[in-house]
Chains A and B, each alone.
Chain A
Amino acid sequence: MSGGKMLRHIQFWILAVLGTVLLTGCGSEYLVLNPKGPVAETQYNLIIISTILVAIIIVPVIALTAFIVYRYRDTPGNKASYKPEWAHSTTLEVIWWIIPIVIVALLGYFTVRDVYVLKENPNKEVAPMTIQVTALDWKWMFTYPEQNIATVNHLEIPAGVPIRFQVSADAPMNSFWVPELGGQIYAMAGMATELYLQADEPGTFAGFSSNFSGEGFAKMQFDVVAKPKDEFEKWVKEVKGTTPAMTKADYEELRKPGVTDKFTYSAFPEGMFEEIVAKYGHGHDMDYVMEKTPAPAGDKSSNETSLNMHQKTESHNMHGMNHSSMNH
């Protein structure tokens, strides 16, 4: 086999493998490659762009490797040139310092652009709805401050509406991930992270816990059900009418380590999420949470100020406590 022929062979196989991966990639079990919302879409595009950009380098490099190894192999009668002292070429070296620099510059541009894009609401035409996510040992609790309902281990959202998730934990750190809607964010005690996701169409999407948190971690998965807006409203009404309200005692029960089934609650103790964050919080993070928490819908607008005050004092206390415990 001549060098050129071998090269073509290798190219064929690389294309065949890439093709297979991309084709099977359309299979619905490849969640990341089947974006169902604008955030996942942005990330999908980046995955494709970055794959192409790195392929521009690695495909020729691998082909070149095969070619060089074949052509300059040490066999009797090999007619390829042999120059044992040839060890430097400024032109060549400048070229291969520049190639990766160009690729990195291009990739860097797309990366930085989308880092900023994903910090914002992905759908400027619709006002976002807030859902608070709390990682517990080992279950997910979702509280809906605007509807004043709560669920455990399942999440219902309206399709076509951007959701602003505030994510925290009352347990070891976890990560909240719904691949078809978009990439994840950490759930950490003492602070609330923020993540926008939106489902464009109704559907059911798999949600995962993706940062190891102990014994029951693998069982900490949940489904996200996106419904048309009116159906979602109907569901909220139904929840209000048919399910029990969550009490503090219920929450304490949920907090205990263990794996549980799905639950739905028609209400939850007011300001519970903020309290969970504040419990471990540093003043700084709490201000961040509080300043961004929207007023509950309708009648409760006055509550926020009082809650805010309350949190601020508590944060102050926490600081005092820290000091004393440090000195101690």
Chain B
Amino acid sequence: MWENIKDFASTFFVTGDPLIYGADVSIVLTIIAILFVLTKYKKWGWLWREWLTTVDHKRIGIMYLIASLLMLFRGGVDALLMRVQLAFPNVEFLHSDHYNAIFTTHGTIMILFMAMPMMFALFNMVVPLQLGARDVAYPFLNALSFWLFMLGAMLFNLSFVIGGSPDAGWLSYPPLSQNEFSPGPGQNFYIWGIQISGIGSLATGINFIVTILKMRAPGMKLSKMPLFSWSVLSSCIMIIFAFPILTVTLALLFLDRFAGAHFFTMDGGGNPMMYLNLIWMWGHPEVYIVVVPAFGIFSEIVATFSRKKIFGYKSMVWAMMIIAVVSFFTWAHHFFTMGTSASVIAFFAISTMIVGIPTGVKVFNWLFTMYRGRISFKQPMLWTIAFIPCFVIGGATGVMLAVAPADYQYHNSYFLVAHFHQVLIGGVVFGYLAGIYYWWPKLFGFKLDEKLGKWGFWFWNIGFYVCFMPQYALGFMGMTRRYYTYGWDRGWADLNLVSTVGAFMMGIGFIFQVWQIAYSIKHGERDTTGDPWNGRTLEWSIPSPAPFYNFAVVPQVKELDDWWETKEAKANGTYKEQPAKLEPIHMPKNSGIPFIMSNFWFLVGFGFTFGWVWMAVIGFIGVFACMWARSFQYDTDYYVPVEEVRRTEASLGRVV
């Protein structure tokens, strides 16, 4: 009996590595600390009422933000471990298995559990406010999306200490990811972690499309909608077409592993290349899904901090929509080297280059927004200015990669690694950080400290170039991605060391930012006006932090940059006060079902991961029970009385 338990434990828990024992200890300590604090200060009720059951888009946004910053930390630590190993390739700091697991989790976490939730954080924090809406179209679904993401991410991260991490690369190509070559639960964790959070992503896509199309304030025609909301629309359209492909692809891979099917196996008529095609039909749009909202953020910031209208609004909208469409016709450029016919390669090479056209147009429009403007270098603008050269170089190397015959030389080399980090960090991370700095006061009521932020900014930026520029050169030297070691005679060691130094500089930048947040909670400049940046769009017309119903009176929109025009009119004395009449506000009620249901999904995932069908069945029963319960819930909304609105507004210093 004892032997059996010991046996089980030694395969169930990941053992044998001091790094992992260290992580075990810190996880247990953190959990104990959290439980202790919650109990000591009697915060359990608060946690449940205010956060776990909330359907308020702003709170959901904040939870997404916290989760994504934690995941940025985890993914970043993964990156640093890899960089240490590559700086000292013959020290065996990491063994092959461990290194393989780490680059797999680094990639998966950074794209799916860091970039995606940070993007959803910004969607949630901003879009309803920018549209003049009181919440998203489906608040309950929104909460469900978040908890599905969260539990999916937890399931994936659990693989670090239980069962073993996936180690077949962030896209888990078969045949390597099949049972024959990757036995054990690691790949199942990957499949179910992504599967569960993927349902949430798809639901968010639907939710925000409907929100944008149906919930805009009266008078805000699509042609007067702020560009960030346009970028969200573009991104969500890509989500609803791309994510079903991911779900089906992973489901088929799971059937191969779990039920012995032969969709992507080497033998039995399976076709692994089909998986590559399918996963990149999702995977390529996915990178545009995360980068297009960053474009939207830059458009808002560049106009605000140049105190000038965005240049070429129509071009900007067209560019984003063209990107959304063309992104679905480029997937095969991820495997030009598969030996397919020349015509196929030529098609995908050209379609890939075409994406560069609208992107280039956007860059010119940002530049000419600044031209004849007045640029102030606040944190959001600093990140935006840093983004332009970084993304332009990354885009240029992207176009170079699209030159298919040359790509035969770049493919899977560090040239490629440098390219995609340059567009993903320079585009996505810089963009989201800019957005977080920009909208932070609206959510929290205070600004993030400028001085600490600037330290963080320069460490990130210089670190970035020190880290990734040498990697382009390493690619030309023949260094292939995912090598955990190499010989000294290749001449790769010096540049790898430089690159590692750069990675640690970015790590220091991140520490400054964490410090900055902690410091600013107490000492950050309070925003009493609701409009700390002299903004242009509706979210800046309401107090900071925004009250839970957002707008006491639904605004009437007449112009693009409506808030800016209102301020101008007030300054000129041409503003006509609209008689505002308070009315009871219709709001959704909180619900615990999204949280509970997502936990049942977790059980489903965990059960399938270990092949414990009974557990998965319990999970499914729970999921359906939650759906059943929700279907017969009719008491899902309420009205905020006029008196309460008046009181809340008064407490925020507004007279209505």
- Identify A173's interface contact among B173, B310, B403, B404, CB under 8 A: B173
Q: Which of B388-396, B440-448, B454-462 contacts A (4 or more CB under 8 A)?
A: B388-396
Say yes or no: A30 contacts B477, CB within 8 Å: yes
Partner of B408, one of A33, A88, A185: A185
User: Which of A24, A46, A88, A100 has the largest number of chain B CB atoms within 10 A?
Assistant: A100
Would you list which residues of chain B between 266 and 283 have a CB under 8 Å from chain A?
266-269, 271-273
Report the stretch among B49-57, B131-139, B237-245, B373-381 that lies at the interface: B373-381
Number of interface residues of A (CB under 8 A): 101
Alpha-carbon separation in the docked complex, A86 to B181 (Å): 61
A111 to B351, CA, bound (A): 12
Query: Contact: A82 with B411, CB < 8 Å?
Result: no
Q: Is the CB of A72 within 8 A of B490?
A: no
Does B373 lie within 8 Å of A82, measured CB to CB?
yes
Determine if B5 is an interface residue (Cβ-Cβ < 8 Å).
no
B335 adjacent to A65 (CB under 8 Å): no
Q: Are A84 and B308 in contact (CB under 8 A)?
A: yes
B379-427 contacts to A, CB under 8 A, are 385, 388-389, 392-393, 395-397, 399-400, 402-413
- Asked if B406 and A177 sit within 8 Å, CB to CB, the answer is no
Closest B residue by C-beta to A189: B266
Say yes or no: A325 contacts B409, CB within 8 Å: no
* CB-defined contacts of B39 to chain A, threshold 8 Å: none
Q: With A212-B169, A321-B268 given, is the CB distance from A217 to B360 under 8 Å? A: no
* Interface check B97, CB cutoff 8 A: yes
| Given known A33-B476, A188-B338, contact A175–B409 (CB-CB < 8 A) | no
Kindly state whether residue A211 has any CB partner on chain B within 8 Å. yes
Q: Would you list which residues of chain B between 453 and 512 have a CB under 8 Å from chain A? A: 473, 475-478, 480-486, 490-492
Chain B residues near A318 (CB-CB < 8 A): 269
Determine if A31 is an interface residue (Cβ-Cβ < 8 Å).
Answer: yes
Which residues of the partner chain A approach B356 to less than 8 Å between Cβ atoms? 100, 104
A173 touches B405 (CB 8 A): no
A232 is an interface residue with CB less than 8 A from chain B: no
- Could you say which residues of chain A place their CB within 8 Å of the CB of B399? 50, 54, 104, 107
Is the CB–CB distance between A97 and B357 below 8 Å?
yes
CB atoms of A186 and B338 under 8 A apart = yes
A69-B370 in contact (CB<8A)? yes
* A215 vs B404: C-alpha distance when bound (angstroms): 29
Give the residues in chain B near A73, CB-CB below 8 Å.
374-377
Q: Is the CB of A43 within 8 A of B409?
A: yes
Task: State whether A74 touches B376 (Cβ < 8 A).
Answer: yes
Given A86-B372, A172-B175, also A218-B486 (CB < 8 A)? yes
Residues on A with C-beta less than 8 A from B309 are: 84-87
In the assembled complex, A190 has its CB within 8 A of some CB on chain B: yes
A322 to B269, CA, bound (A): 6
The reply on A62 being an interface residue by CB < 8 A is yes
Report whether A101 and B357 are in contact in the complex, using a CB–CB cutoff of 8 Å.
Answer: yes
Interface pair A115/B412, CB less than 8 Å apart? no
| B272 close to A29 (CB less than 8 A) | no
Which of B249-257, B341-349, B636-644 forms contacts with chain A? B341-349
Instruction: Decide yes or no whether B13 CB sits under 8 A from chain A.
Output: no
Is B11 in contact with chain A by the CB < 8 A criterion?
A: no
Which A-chain residue is minimally distant from B353 (CB atoms)? A104
Q: Is the CB of A183 within 8 A of B411?
A: yes
Q: Are A72 and B375 within 8 A (Cβ)?
A: yes
User: Shortest CB–CB separation between residue B577 and chain A, in angstroms?
Assistant: 24
CB distance from B193 to the nearest CB of A (A): 20
Assess whether B337 is in contact with A186, with CB atoms less than 8 Å apart: yes
Q: Is B624 an interface residue when CB atoms closer than 8 A count as contact?
A: no
Instruction: Tell me whether A72 and B357 are in contact in the complex, defined as CB-CB below 8 angstroms, given that A43-B406, A96-B364 are known contacts.
Output: no
CB–CB A78/B360 < 8 A = no
Which chain A residues in 1-31 approach chain B with CB under 8 Å? 21, 24-25, 27, 29-31
Residues of B contacting A249 in the complex (Cβ-Cβ under 8 angstroms): none
Mask of A221-255 contacts with B, CB within 8 angstroms, 1/0: 00000000000000000000000000000000000
Which residues of chain B come closer than 8 Å to A175, judged between CB atoms?
337, 411-412
Does B556 touch A at the CB level, under 8 Å?
no
Which of A57, A177, A191, A280 is within 8 Å of B267, CB to CB?
A280
Q: Give the segment of A142-150, A151-159, A202-210, A262-270 that binds chain B.
A: A202-210
Task: For the complex, give the distance between the alpha carbons of A99 and B388 in Å.
Answer: 18
Q: Nearest chain A CB to B295's CB is how many angstroms away?
A: 16
In the bound assembly, the distance between CA atoms of A42 and B482 in angstroms comes to 27
Contact of A57 among B360, B402, B410, B486 (CB under 8 A): B360
Contact, CB under 8 Å: A81 / B372: yes
CB-CB < 8 A to B400: which residues of A? 47, 50-51, 54
Could you say which residues of chain B place their CB within 8 Å of the CB of A201?
none
B517 at the interface (CB under 8 A from A): no
- Is B44 an interface position by the 8 A CB rule? no
Complex Cα distance, B311 from A325, in Å, reads: 60
The answer to whether A93 touches B315 (Cβ under 8 A) is yes
Chain A hits for B575, CB < 8 A: none
**B596 CB-CB contact with A under 8 Å:** no
B308 engages A193 (CB within 8 Å):
no
Question: From residue B632, how far is it (CB to closest CB) to chain A in Å?
Answer: 42
Complex CA–CA separation, A147 to B264 (angstroms):
35
Which residues of chain B are near A300, meaning CB under 8 Å? none
Chain A nearest CB from B492 CB (Å) reads 8
Bound Cα distance A219, B482 (Å): 11
Measured between beta carbons, the chain A residues less than 8 angstroms from B478 are 31-32, 177, 179, 206, 208
**Contact residues in A for B483 (Cβ distance below 8 Å):** 217-218
Q: Is B306 an interface residue (CB 8 A)?
A: yes
Task: Please name all residues of chain A whose beta carbon is closer than 8 Å to the beta carbon of B272 when the two chains form the complex.
Answer: 173, 188-189
Q: A69-B370, A87-B309, A218-B485 are in contact. Are A321 and B350 (CB under 8 A)?
A: no
Q: Contact at A112–B346, with CB atoms within 8 Å?
A: yes
| B371 → A minimal CB distance (Å) | 5
Q: Does A37 make an interface contact (CB < 8 A)?
A: no
A51 to B401, CA, bound (A): 11
Residues of chain A lying within 8 A (CB to CB) of residue B307? 74, 82, 84
Quick one: which of A40, A87, A206 has the most chain B CB within 10 A? Answer: A87
Digitize B301-334: 1 where CB-to-A-CB distance is under 8 Å, 0 elsewhere.
0000011111111010000000000000000000
- B445 vs chain A, min Cβ distance (A): 25
B476 x A214 contact (CB < 8 A)? no
> Cβ of B357 and Cβ of A46 under 8 Å apart?
no
- Contact between B372 and A115, CB atoms less than 8 A apart: no
Q: What CA separation (Å) do A115 and B407 show in the bound complex?
A: 11
**Which A residues are in CB contact (< 8 Å) with B271?**
190, 282
Give Cα A24–Cα B407 distance, bound, in whole angstroms: 21
Closest B residue by C-beta to A83: B372
Known contacts A30-B476, A43-B408, A58-B396; A185 and B337 CB within 8 A of each other? yes
Say yes or no: is B579 at the interface (Cβ < 8 Å to chain A).
no
- A25, A118, A119, A280 pick with most chain B CB within 10 angstroms: A280
A126 at the interface (CB under 8 A from B): no
A-B contact pairs, 8 of them (CB 8 A): A92-B364, A99-B360, A115-B345, A115-B349, A173-B272, A218-B96, A321-B268, A325-B268
Taking A54-B396, A65-B392, A218-B485 as known contacts, 5 extra A-B pairs with beta carbons closer than 8 A to each other, sorted by chain A number, are A32-B477, A58-B393, A172-B176, A173-B175, A184-B408
Question: Contact residues of A with B, CB < 8 Å?
Answer: 21, 24-25, 27, 29-33, 40, 42-43, 46-47, 50-51, 54-55, 57-58, 61-62, 64-65, 68-69, 72-74, 78, 80-89, 92-93, 96-97, 99-101, 104, 107-108, 110-112, 114-119, 137, 167, 171-173, 175, 177, 179, 182-186, 188-191, 193-195, 206, 208-219, 279-280, 282, 318-319, 321-322, 325-326
List 7 tightest A-B contacts by C-beta distance, closest first.
Answer: A183-B408, A193-B339, A322-B269, A87-B309, A29-B491, A54-B396, A172-B176
